[in-house]
Structure 1
Amino acid sequence: MPRQPSKPPRGAVDEARPASANYHANALARGLALLELIAAQGKPLTLSEFSDGTALPKSTLVRLVAVLTELDYLVRVDDRPSYRLGHKVQGLATAYLATLDLSTAASPHLLPVAEQTGQTANLGMIDGDQVLHACVAEPDRPLRFTTATGARDHLYCTGLGKLLLAQLDSELVAACLPVQPWPAFTESTHTTLEPLHRELLAIAGRGYALDDNERSAGLRCVAVPVPVRGETGESFAAISVSGPTGEFAPAQQQAYVARLRQAAADLAADPEVAAALRLAQRSLRPPGRAE
């Protein structure tokens, strides 16, 4: 049986208007609420459905819809009448996306992590067969891990990379990796798929990844997923902290993981960060080995 469209939730739109709104500002807030209601429902709405969703009287809705239609923010689509979003909304959305910058949006969430842990915080995403450092925040201390926003690194030997690989199907994991054996950067680096595969299963089970002197001797890193989901349900971004091995004892690692999980939840709950992450993902190479 086909799924029926959900009925707009009834709620008083005036309850959410700004406290300082005068008559004209209140009309603007009501008009914007109509646009938000259509966007949330994902289908054309009638005046009755607008009334159900906003608790506004139909006489008020007729005036608001008339203005929005005249300005091309709404388009009438049938004789009931019902209305969908107009092309002016697309123009606003395009302009909004054009001004989004992931590093700028994510920095307010990463900076407190770096300050509170004393370690370098990093937001990463897969770009083909590499991990992209999409945003970096370094602590204010002389001894710290240093990298830069926009830098790239290997997937198989970094905390961010292994966390992101653990989100993928095993066939796709193999496609992201170099020809075996892989370059060994330290004595701890995995150089073949079998031990890495076992570790990825462990990462998926416990929910965080550890780079234990694998990319650089004397450096440890812990990473957790950012719960913004891709089309197939995987987390396609991760957040980490990196620093001197001696400052990542087991108890300290767990404290870092707890702080990272809080930051990851805050990143996912920030609508600008979530939109910027999805926009960035579309601009990156899908997971897979570079040709």
Structure 2
Amino acid sequence: MATKTRGARPARTGDQLGPKSANYHTHALTRGLVLLDLLASAPSPMTLTGMHEHTGLPKSTLVRLLAALTEMRFVVRVDERPAYRLGHKVMALADAYVSSVDFSAAAGSYLDELARETQQTANLGLLDGREVVHVCVRQPDRPLRFETSPGARDSTHSTGLGKMLLAGVAAGRLPAHLPAEPFPARTDRTITSLDEMSKEVRRTGRRGYAVDDTENSAGLRCLAVPVTVKEQPLAALSVSGPAGEFTPKRQKEYLELLHATAGRLADDHDVVAVLLGMHASMSEP
């Protein structure tokens, strides 16, 4: 009986495989790459029959391609059906790809535009235990602005980035990402209890953005939104600046720009690859 693979791409005929620029001399390479792409999209090992159904390639051709990929350790045969999955050699390529990406340039171009359009400081942050790590920062070209730098750390309980990141944490894990009660009061508006913070995080999750209303620094406001990839919040994106400039009208404009920029970041494969690596390396308390 034919094997159906959930999540794999629709079948393509042999003539449809690969780019139109492929010629006789590149067909073997193109088909091998198509097989790797197909295996990467499958949630479980694929049988030879399954690959035949999805690619339209003759089984004899698939056997030859798989033999070469297996010998090079890009593919592993897992049983006698036979079925195959990606091999460890693919990880070396993935690691090399991620390490070659200039994250500051890749993500920074989006934050540059956001800082220019809002005239506020744009900041991309990740959750690391009980802290927020600023991984990319761009500032507007003006003397009055919020100052921070990549690599700087801040509190989760008093910042817009922190609240937005906490909104993606399971309720039972929330205390592990917060300081001991009472939380340090950065200003007279800082939330200092777990009960109130839990309510604030739920509000943040429902509305889809976080607000730091002079809670981390007197006179400073911040709005933050999630950067979500495949329903997983990987990071948070914010703009921060003088509280008096965050009028209701401006806040609406800022949020539109934040959501649009977060969407572009989530659609950029280079940015997402590095964020995934960073996210995996962050500590759990």
| Range class of TM-score, shorter chain | 0.7 to 0.9
Aligned to 1:36: 37
| Partners of 2:64 and 2:126 in 1: CA distance | 47
| Partners of 1:86 and 1:262 in 2: CA distance | 37
1:90-109 deviation digits (Å, cap 9, x = unpaired):
33233334445644442232
| Partners of 1:19 and 1:90 in 2: CA distance | 28
Q: Any conservation in 2 of the 1:102–1:280 contact (CA below 8 Å)? A: no
1:207-259 deviation digits (Å, cap 9, x = unpaired):
11111111122211100111136xxx762421111112222101111111111
1:82-127 deviation digits (Å, cap 9, x = unpaired):
4333343233233334445644442232222112222111111111
Residue identity matched to 1:6: R
Per mean C-alpha deviation after superposition, the further-off stretch among 148-157 and 233-242 is 233-242
Aligned to 2:278: 280
| Partners of 1:51 and 1:62 in 2: CA distance | 10
| Partners of 2:129 and 2:71 in 1: CA distance | 46
Aligned to 1:221: 222
Residue identity matched to 1:136: V
Q: What pairs up with 1:1-291 in 2 under 5 angstroms?
A: 5-6=5-6, 8=8, 9-12=10-13, 14-15=15-16, 17-100=18-101, 102-228=103-229, 235-286=233-284, 288=285
Please state whether the residue corresponding to 1:211 is helix, strand or coil. strand
Residue identity matched to 1:254: K
Q: Any conservation in 1 of the 2:234–2:276 contact (CA below 8 Å)? A: no
Residue identity matched to 2:254: Y
State the 1:45 CA deviation.
Answer: 3.0
Give the TM-score normalised by structure 2: 0.86
Please state whether the residue corresponding to 2:196 is helix, strand or coil. helix
Per mean C-alpha deviation after superposition, the further-off stretch among 178-187 and 199-208 is 178-187
Q: Any conservation in 2 of the 1:138–1:146 contact (CA below 8 Å)? A: yes
Q: Any conservation in 1 of the 2:17–2:31 contact (CA below 8 Å)? A: no
State the 1:14 CA deviation.
Answer: 4.7
Please state whether the residue corresponding to 1:29 is helix, strand or coil. helix
Residue identity matched to 2:166: L
The two structures, once aligned, show a CA RMSD in angstroms of: 2.6
Residue identity matched to 1:53: H
Give the TM-score normalised by structure 1: 0.84
| Partners of 2:86 and 2:170 in 1: CA distance | 38
Per mean C-alpha deviation after superposition, the further-off stretch among 80-89 and 153-162 is 80-89
Percent identity of the aligned residues? Answer: 50
1:44-97 deviation digits (Å, cap 9, x = unpaired):
334432222123344543443343334333344445444333343233233334
Q: Any conservation in 1 of the 2:73–2:89 contact (CA below 8 Å)? A: yes
Aligned CA distance change for structure 1 residues 49 and 139 (closer, same or farther; 3 Å): same
**Equivalenced residues, count:** 281
Residue identity matched to 1:283: S
Per mean C-alpha deviation after superposition, the further-off stretch among 158-167 and 64-73 is 64-73
Aligned CA distance change for structure 1 residues 282 and 250 (closer, same or farther; 3 Å): same
Q: Any conservation in 2 of the 1:121–1:240 contact (CA below 8 Å)? A: yes
State the 1:193 CA deviation.
Answer: 3.1
| Partners of 2:7 and 2:202 in 1: CA distance | 42
Please state whether the residue corresponding to 2:239 is helix, strand or coil. strand
1:250-281 deviation digits (Å, cap 9, x = unpaired):
11111111111112222222233222222112
Aligned CA distance change for structure 1 residues 20 and 222 (closer, same or farther; 3 Å): same
